[in-house]
Amino acid sequence: MGGWQGKVLRVDLSAGTTASEPLNQEWADQYLGQRGLASKYLYEEMDPAADPLSPENKMIFATGPLTGTMASTGGRWSVVTKGALTDAIACSNSGGYFGGELKLAGWDMVIFEGKSPHPVYLMIRDDDAQILDARDFIWGETAWVAEDSIKAKHQDPLIRIASIGRAGEARVRLAGGRHAQAPAAGRAGGGAGRGAKNRKAVAVRGTTGVAVHDPKRFMQVVGEMRQKLDTHAARERLGRVGTHAMMDNTNAYGSLPTRNGRDVQFDGHDAVKVKTAHTPRRSDRKANVISSKACFSCSIGCGRIAKIDPEHFTVVEETAKKRYGNAIGGLEYESIFALAPMVGCSDLSAATYVNALCNEDGMDPISLGGSISAAMELFEEGVITEKETGGIKLNFGNAEAMCRVAEEAARGEGFGAEVGLGSKRLCEKYGRPELSVSVKGLEFPGYDPRAMQGMGLAYATSNRGACHMRASPFVDDFSHVRPDGKAQIVKDTQDANAGKDATGLCAFAGNAWDLSDYAAQIDAACGGGWDAERLTQTGERIWTLERQFNMRAGLTKADDTLPERFLKEAAKSGVAKGRVTELDKMLPEYYEIRGWTADGVPTNETLDRIGL
């Protein structure tokens, strides 16, 4: 039982009850924690065809066996549900302090089911879990206000909170969740799902510890791994310049999705690149980035704290926005890509402001940027006009327009409410579905698949829609632009990443650790003979189970594709100039390597081999 608390908290929001039940240890051995274990529970407990915004959908908060331990980056946790944006299984992996606190309160997982008749929040103090009324308290408030209010009411500044903002309450489909000191937990519409359950927040305070299988070996292994991580060049880079540095790479290589994917390099890159974010500006002699921040037990600290230029229109316009002039969560690569090149805006402060709005009101900045960029292309093409946008001139590069639409989306009002549907529903509504740069309804992260063919295959086959964390073809993609060899790399790294996503450790540590390093820490914590091979097999089992969930939800081979633009319009510049994504070459090979039929269905032999 080392690494596990052995307890699951089940919250029936319809009945207003909470109950403790033993963890299914057999499933934990087969699927490990976080993404793996929660996917298994979801698969077994709900009808995958259910409407994601109905009470039949479940939502699971899951830790891994290393969450809450001393292992470096051991604060990871997952939210697994059926996504409101994608209608597919959605797993969001998050950091911060919430997951560690939940584990230290004695819980491996929390399962939410049903729908509360009125807005509530869940308060967990170790064994004690209570559903409390959120009406006339935090319902209608931003996530920032909700967090401060809960801490004040319960008189404990150490409470950790996972909350939705106003966007989730308004069922804005691209809404995620958020929690203090960490990126939003939730792509694929998890925030809307929480809003649909009338569940505003989960607050937790934990005072126990996590017992491990072999304490002496555990201390030794995590010490060695911390040393290996701390002395690696990637840790230095992530700590000092953050993930934002990736944009130097993608822009030079020609894999930076720009203006809704029309271009692959951004002419305004200099104004929003990482060097600029670290260079003091004229107005207050401060840089955009003022410091860094780290999640629970992490020695990397890739998160950023930022300050908007005090002369920028977003903070001088009206007093209501003044709070954004303080220290706020800063930009990661994915948020700066989505809120600058993707929308054609070279305005670092505007991107920082919209990113803060996403944090405060609980929206996914990648999907928001990708949905605004789709709206901008609709506007540039004349499909929509100022009549639809409510007078907003939504051209590429108009930073003020981006900020206004983002503000409306956060509240589910005006044209922003349509943008909040996500780019797929928005573009379908206006008869131009091909302009949605998404897969399975989830907007692209910041890698153009014409220069990064492996990433193209990874997006197309990802179980949660376009995602850059499901596979890791980076090294090979940054070395050549041909499709050969990509299918194997994508399959192997999908399995490896699914395994890592079940541990409680951060994928970014994978810059320094290989899979056996993750497995060694699991083995010391849990026992049972964990090595790289078993972790890979577990990952393949998780991957295939997610696939089966999606098939039962009605998804088919037709959903394993990319927007037409990337298959037909050649890249205009960069290393892949003249190329499209050769998905037709990679996809059949990928299915074959996976042991799936030509229609993408796992064969019985494959299911037997991986124990499904």
Residue 294, contacted partner among ligand SF4, another protein, none, CB below 5-8 A by kind: ligand SF4
Residue 43, contacted partner among ligand SF4, another protein, none, CB below 5-8 A by kind: none
With respect to ligand SF4, which residue has the nearer C-beta, 55 or 301? 301
Farthest CA pair distance, the chain: 68
Residue 298, contacted partner among another protein, ligand SF4, none, CB below 5-8 A by kind: ligand SF4
With respect to ligand SF4, which residue has the nearer C-beta, 48 or 75? 75
Q: How far is the CB of 301 from ligand SF4 (least distance, A)?
A: 5
What single string gives the DSSP state of each residue in 257-297?
Answer: -BTTTTBSS-TTHHHHSHHHHTSPPTTTS--SEEEEE--TT
With respect to another protein, which residue has the nearer C-beta, 243 or 359? 243
Q: How far is the CB of 301 from another protein (least distance, A)?
A: 12
With respect to another protein, which residue has the nearer C-beta, 160 or 269? 269
Residue 300, contacted partner among another protein, ligand SF4, none, CB below 5-8 A by kind: ligand SF4
Residues 6+ apart with CB under 8 A from 211: 1, 2
Q: How far is the CB of 166 from another protein (least distance, A)?
A: 28
Residue 511, contacted partner among ligand SF4, another protein, none, CB below 5-8 A by kind: another protein
With respect to ligand SF4, which residue has the nearer C-beta, 176 or 344? 176
| First-to-final CA distance of the chain | 23
Are the CB atoms for 8 and 110 separated by under 8 Å? yes
Instruction: Quickly tell me which residue has 């509504």 as its tokens.
Output: 429
What's 461's DSSP letter? H
Residue 95, contacted partner among another protein, ligand SF4, none, CB below 5-8 A by kind: ligand SF4
Cite the DSSP H helix spans in 1-52. Answer: 25-31, 34-45
In this structure, the dihedral spanned by the alpha carbons of residues 381, 382, 385 and 389, taken in order and rounded to 10 degrees, is -20
Q: How far is the CB of 230 from ligand SF4 (least distance, A)?
A: 12
Q: How far is the CB of 514 from ligand SF4 (least distance, A)?
A: 16
Instruction: Quickly tell me which residue has 């009411």 as its tokens.
Output: 153
With respect to ligand SF4, which residue has the nearer C-beta, 43 or 508? 508
With respect to ligand SF4, which residue has the nearer C-beta, 181 or 516? 181
Q: How far is the CB of 76 from ligand SF4 (least distance, A)?
A: 7
With respect to ligand SF4, which residue has the nearer C-beta, 295 or 471? 295
- Gap between the Cα atoms of 250 and 264, Å rounded: 8
> Where do contacts with another protein occur on this chain (CB under 8 A)?
232-234, 236-237, 239-241, 243, 245-246, 248-249, 252-254, 274-275, 332-334, 337, 445-446, 468-469, 472, 474-475, 478-481, 507-508, 510-512, 574-575
* Nearest Cα to Cα of residue 185 among 76, 266, 38: 76
- Gap between the Cα atoms of 71 and 226, Å rounded: 8
Strand partners for 10: 19, 111
Are the CB atoms for 538 and 32 separated by under 8 Å? yes
Q: How far is the CB of 501 from another protein (least distance, A)?
A: 12
E strands present in 66-225: 77-82, 89-94, 109-113, 120-125, 128-133, 160-163, 177-179, 182-185, 199-205
Residue 468, contacted partner among another protein, ligand SF4, none, CB below 5-8 A by kind: another protein
Task: For the chain, count helices (H), then strands (E).
Answer: 27, 17
Q: How far is the CB of 508 from ligand SF4 (least distance, A)?
A: 4
Residue 73, contacted partner among ligand SF4, another protein, none, CB below 5-8 A by kind: ligand SF4
> Where do contacts with ligand SF4 occur on this chain (CB under 6 A)?
73, 95, 294-295, 298, 300-303, 506, 508
Strand partners for 577: 571
What's 56's DSSP letter? T
Q: How far is the CB of 155 from another protein (least distance, A)?
A: 39
Q: How far is the CB of 85 from another protein (least distance, A)?
A: 21
If you count them, how many residues does the chain have? 612
- Gap between the Cα atoms of 549 and 40, Å rounded: 10
Instruction: Quickly tell me which residue has 């042991």 as its tokens.
Output: 595
Residue 407, contacted partner among ligand SF4, another protein, none, CB below 5-8 A by kind: none
Residue 446, contacted partner among ligand SF4, another protein, none, CB below 5-8 A by kind: another protein
Tell me how crowded residue 608 is: count the other CB atoms within 10 A of its CB. Answer: 9
Residue type at 529 in one-letter notation: G
With respect to another protein, which residue has the nearer C-beta, 202 or 264? 264
With respect to another protein, which residue has the nearer C-beta, 58 or 468? 468
